[in-house]
Structure 1
Amino acid sequence: MKSYQVTEFGAPLVEVHAATPAPQGAQVLLKVVGAGICHSDLHIWEGAYELGHGRKKLSFADRGMKLPITMGHETAGEVVAVGPDAVGVRVGDVRLVYPWIGCGECAVCRAGDEHMCLQPAYIGVQKAGGYADHVMVPHARYLLDLEGLDPVAAAPYACSGVTAYGALKKVQDVFASPIVILGAGGLGLMALSLLRAMGGKGAIVVDIDARKREAAARAGALATVDAAAPDSVQQVVAAAGGPASAVIDFVGNPDTATLGFECLRKGGKLVTVGLFGGGAPWALPLIAIKAITIQGSYVGNLQETQELLDLVREKNIPAIPVTTVRLARVNEALSELHGGKLIGRAVLTP
């Protein structure tokens, strides 16, 4: 079995060869067909999140992450072996791996929200992920049927897809009016493709990169705005026909947080998804005066991921732009993502 592992934060991933594991109990072994490269992987690779305001970085090492780790939490693959207790899956099945696995015992997990568990066992974060030719999954319930879908294009649904879907559900009550999407990377484009299928009127998309704004326009944005423009807030408000009811921030830095806040009407909602980092810039009195709701949104649960796949099939939603990259070029791909050069999503293939 070949994998590419983070052995030192900030250093190039290392190619590692080891015996291919045999599944035990209810485990299922898959041959990786596609593994998406997520912006969150950059933070894992770098080893920390920026918190802003002079705070110490949020370190993965301080939070108990032990190296080496094989990243990759957007994985699709073909079942090649099953443990003696595995049920509901057969060799040859092509499945999407749900990676956001919790302890399975706490009240949060029992309620179906394993992605919010305080003792996570996420595939690609705490457990070996898809930056490899094989991946082990602890139970078949975390494997979702990809019948009718291209597994390479569908791999990002495990994170960017369900993240976009989960964020959109939080503002679904205002879909009759345009919403604002900050960031036209993989998440923003995924949200655009889902919004209309979920009954939304449409979105104004804001990004600093002209190429990404063009991609958003091709994907059906009602309008696009350059985030760096001095009158970006006024442009957004004009395009939306007034202050927005909802803004989803798929970037998550002080500039986008400020822009999103200033675009909102009284009683509006700002959903923060992106993890670029920094400190919150809002004046506290204005949160109350404008009665703004600021809500975080973190990936989604297993049921929401299944809902997403059902929606994609039912509405025949086109996949976001995907750039396939050979697994051996993973370090180049991470560097390109870090430099903002990728449009849509990069997916590693064997």
Structure 2
Amino acid sequence: MRAVEFSPDKGFQVVDVALGSLAADEVRLQVEACGVCGSDRQVVQGESVPPGTSFPLVMGHEIAGTVTEVGEQVKQWQVGDEVIVHPFISCGTCAPCQHNQPNLCVRQTCIGYQQAGGFAEMVTVPASQLVRRPKGCDAAAAALLVDAFATPYHAMRLADVAPGSTVLVIGTGGLGLAALRLAGAFAVGRLGAVTRRDAGLDSVAAHGAEMVVSMQDEPRNVARQMRRWSGAGGIDVVIDTVANKETVKFALDVVRPGGAVTLIGMSEDDAVLPIAKSVRRGVRLLTSYGSELEDVRALSDWVAAGRLDPSVLLAGTLALEEVEQAFSPVRASGRWVITPRTL
């Protein structure tokens, strides 16, 4: 099969790769689409490489495909099934796994880093990671459910986002835009966004935010503006997809007493928490990492029911030979998706 390998010294190369053997509990998929995540960009730029990753590497963890072969122990899936793949594989035995928190597994591996991913014509994955693709949903759109949408969905579920609530999303990259779309599916009452890029103001409004402000403005003035806009002296739930010291401070300034601030972003910053003020206001400060298989199943159900349209996050599709374009310094609005069979 053809695949795209990446290594820091050689960059991206389209290569021929032999198909490996299929374990009894695995399935082989023809990859129809694979999203390009911000984590992939960090690997390419040398900013952050997941432990256990070795090069050359076939990246790609947002996979949609069709089952072409099943292991002898696999009974639930058959050749021809259209699926999406939850990429985070938990061990099932560590303390977080035993406490029903598999997304926090201390021995977690990820398809596309510790094992070959979806920037290829075929991929082999554990059958336990599969979720049935929503009927009528294009593969390129469906691929984005497993991480681009699942990560903010998990965070919003932890924060108890409820119909009618006021939600503010900080950051307008792929996760931020997905969070805005999810907020609409949660039927929130008021939805705002904070962007660090003035160029993104118009596109953010197109994703459902009725109030959009720039972090380029003076933070205290922006915070006062957001509190007034909320109509309740502050925001019910703030989803911070950036999570650096400036955005965390801002989030704590705009959240209402008793509200929640949920951090998704993973900057290397140290943030200062005003302890007494936060305690008096009863603010819930949460952190959320990744997602669970059940999150992907729930999102698939939302799509099937017409509650969510993941295609709105698509920046475009690229062939394997064009994968480098997805890592251009010029950021697209939304997510690029690789379609390996497109020439």
TM-score (norm 1): 0.87
What is the CA–CA distance in structure 2 between the aligned matches of 1:95 and 1:218, rounded to whole Å?
29
The reply to whether residue 315 of structure 1 matches residue 306 of structure 2 is yes
- The counterpart of 2:192, out of the listed 190, 198, 204, is 204
Aligned to 1:191: 179
Give the Å deviation of 1:166.
0.8
| SS at 2:169 equivalent | strand
Q: How do residues 67-146 of structure 1 correspond to structure 2 at under 5 angstroms?
A: 67-110=55-98, 112-139=100-127, 141-146=128-133
The residue that corresponds to 2:247 in the other structure is 256
Percentage identity across paired residues of the two chains: 30
Which residue of 126, 129, 154 corresponds with 1:166? 154
- Cα pair distance change 1:277/1:332, threshold 3 Å: farther
Q: Work out which of the residue numbers 223, 227, 238 in structure 2 matches 1:233.
A: 223
Query: How many angstroms does 1:174 deviate by?
Result: 5.4
Aligned counterpart for 2:322 among listed residues 307, 329, 338: 329
Distance 2:308 2:162 in 1: 21
CA distance in 1, matches of 2:323, 2:84: 20
Q: State the secondary structure of the residue aligned to 1:176.
A: coil
Closer, same or farther: CA 289–124 of 1 in aligned 2, 3 Å: same
The one-letter amino acid of 1:346's match is W
Deviations 1:211-245 (A, max 9, x none): 43322212221211112112321222222222212
Give 1:276 deviation, angstroms: 4.2
Equivalent residues, number: 334
Quote the offset at 1:163 in angstroms.
0.8
5+ unaligned residues in a row in structure 1: which ranges? Answer: 50-58
Q: CA deviation at 1:39?
A: 0.9
Does residue 1:44 correspond to 2:66, yes or no?
A: no
Q: 1:283–1:144: structure 2 CA closer, same or farther, 3 Å change rule?
A: same
TM-score, reference length from structure 2: 0.89
Q: In structure 2, what residue type is equivalent to 1:274?
A: G
Displacement of 1:47: 4.1
Report what 1:7 is aligned to: 7
Paired AA for residue 313 in structure 2: P
Residues 290, 130 of structure 1: alpha-carbon distance in 2 compared, 3 angstrom cutoff: same
**Contact preservation (8 Å) 2:167, 2:183:** no
Moved more, 283-292 or 224-233: 283-292
Instruction: Between 244-253 and 234-243, report the one with greater CA deviation.
Output: 234-243
Q: The residue matched to 2:89 in structure 1 has which SS? A: coil
Amino acid at match of 1:331: E
CA–CA distance in structure 2, aligned partners of residues 287 and 111 of structure 1: 28
Q: Which residue of 1 aligns with 2:287?
A: 296
Task: Establish whether residue 342 from structure 1 lines up as the match of residue 341 from structure 2.
Answer: no
Contact 2:14–2:320 (8 Å) recurs in 1 = no
Residue-by-residue CA offset, 1:119-159 (whole Å, 9 max, x unaligned)? 112111211111222111122x3111112211111111110
Does the CA contact (< 8 Å) of 2:180 and 2:207 recur in 1?
A: yes
Alpha-carbon offset, residue 309 of structure 1: 1.0
Gaps (5+ residues) in structure 2?
A: none
By how many angstroms is 1:342 displaced? 0.9
- Whole-Å separation in 2 of the counterparts to 1:226 and 1:263: 14
Q: CA RMSD in A?
A: 2.2
> How far apart in 2 are the matches of 1:92 and 1:45?
34
Cα distance in structure 2, aligned partners of 1:177 and 1:86? 43
Q: Distance in 2 between matches of 1:87 and 1:317?
A: 30
Deviation, structure 1 residue 48: 4.1
1:19 aligns with: 18
